[in-house]
Amino acid sequence: MKKILQDLSYAETEVLMLSMGEKKFRAKQLFEGLVQGKTVSGITSLSKALKARLLEEYEDEPVKIKEIFHSSDGTEKYLFELSDGNLIEGVLMKYKYGYTQCVSTQVGCRMGCKFCASTLGGLVRNLTSGEILAQILVVNALHANDEEVKGRGKDARAVTNIVLMGSGEPLDNYGETLRFLQNVTASDGLNVSARNISLSTCGIVPKMYELANAGIPVNLTVSLHATDDETRARVMPIAKAYKISEILKACAYYFEKTGRRYYFEYTLIDGENCDETHARALVTLLKGKPCHVNLIRLNEVKERSLKATGEKAAYRFLGYLEKNGLSATLRRQIGSDIGGACGQLRASYLE
């Protein structure tokens, strides 16, 4: 694989241009073209000769949209192809205030969660920061001329919010994920506010502390899915490495450092974690903490035997949490007609 220009910050792009004997303003032309989602060959302000030199070493299009699936509710699901032929997926959800894109951080995943399709074939490889970023760049370019986007102002970009909830465990690819966060929030780059970015982790505790200290206060979301370590370990092998109590301590530290409340994802799995006893235990565990609980109804994955909770039971669970003072919501199911759950699309494609 060649190198990836989207891995570079603006300052690093300048260094590159100077090292190639070019003037500084070429870095601006190159960087701005890439930020607009252009390929190197598509940047008209650069000479053919310079582009040819760049393309000897760098990928022209590190992330390509291979297929788009449209849901009846407007949600789009993408199958992206990387330059080595690997496939990853992403989702775009359209809201009134803007578009939220769900991006992947790894090809596959090695966390082994029992309900998740991303981990079925294990980890193939980490994405580079530029491959994470380029998922957003190509989607911004795809939607640059949408009426809704233009209506938001002259310099508006399609993707206003980012969730790191696609395939992969972001904190298992910490270095590249952090670099991505630095570059995507940079004022000379896409300039997305950390407040508009959510990072979801299965709870790799030491990395949660590192993230708290990194100075990019994104919304931290932990996939909890159970209220005791034993039950959690049945569906999430990572629970054998880190206890819920340790996760809660790391969350408290995150709040202390960033001032941001944190989030928990709790996927309701029939017969596993969604009786009233579990709701009560969840209240006991989280009451009074500066957090919010996102309930998710399991998106059934055909390779897995776990079953979703009925809608009524899900609302009952939510009602119990709310009545007992937890801030909670049941995630609206969107895009389920296009295989919205992590890894489903890639899994069916590989098949």
Q: Report, as residue numbers or ranges, the catalytic residues.
A: 89, 342
**Minimum CB distance to ligand SAH, residue 313 (Å):** 15
**Minimum CB distance to ligand SAH, residue 229 (Å):** 16
Give the footprint of ligand SAH on residues 73-92 (CB under 6 A). Answer: none
DSSP string, 49-80: HHHHHHHHHB-S-SEEEEEEEE-TTS-EEEEE
CB 293 within 8 A of CB 263: yes
* Residue 200 lies near ligand SAH (rule: CB under 6 A): yes
Q: What's the DSSP call for residue 170?
A: G
* Residue 124 lies near ligand SAH (rule: CB under 6 A): no
Distance, in Å, from the CA atom of 306 to the CA atom of 301, rounded to the nearest integer, reads 8
CA-based Rg of the chain, rounded to a whole angstrom?
Answer: 21
* Residue 183 lies near ligand SAH (rule: CB under 6 A): no
Instruction: Using DSSP bridges, classify how beta strands 291-297 and 76-82 pair: parallel, antiparallel or unpaired.
Output: unpaired
* Residue 132 lies near ligand SAH (rule: CB under 6 A): no
Give the footprint of ligand SAH on residues 257-296 (CB under 6 A). Answer: 265, 267, 296
Indicate which single residue of 92, 103, 301, 328 sits in contact with ligand SAH (rule: CB under 6 A).
301
- 70: alpha, beta or left? (left if phi > 0; alpha if psi -120 to 50): beta
Indicate which single residue of 342, 345, 346, 347 sits in contact with ligand SAH (rule: CB under 6 A).
342
Residue 222 C-alpha from the chain's centroid = 13
* Residue 231 lies near ligand SAH (rule: CB under 6 A): no
Q: Under DSSP, is residue 10 helix (H, G, I), strand (E, B) or coil? A: helix
* Residue 115 lies near ligand SAH (rule: CB under 6 A): yes
If the CB atoms of residues 150 and 307 are measured against ligand SAH, the closer one turns out to be 307
Distance, in Å, from the CA atom of 29 to the CA atom of 44, rounded to the nearest integer, reads 9
If the CB atoms of residues 287 and 331 are measured against ligand SAH, the closer one turns out to be 331
Binding site for ligand SAH (CB under 6 A): 113, 115-116, 165, 169, 200-202, 223, 265, 267, 296, 298-299, 301, 341-342
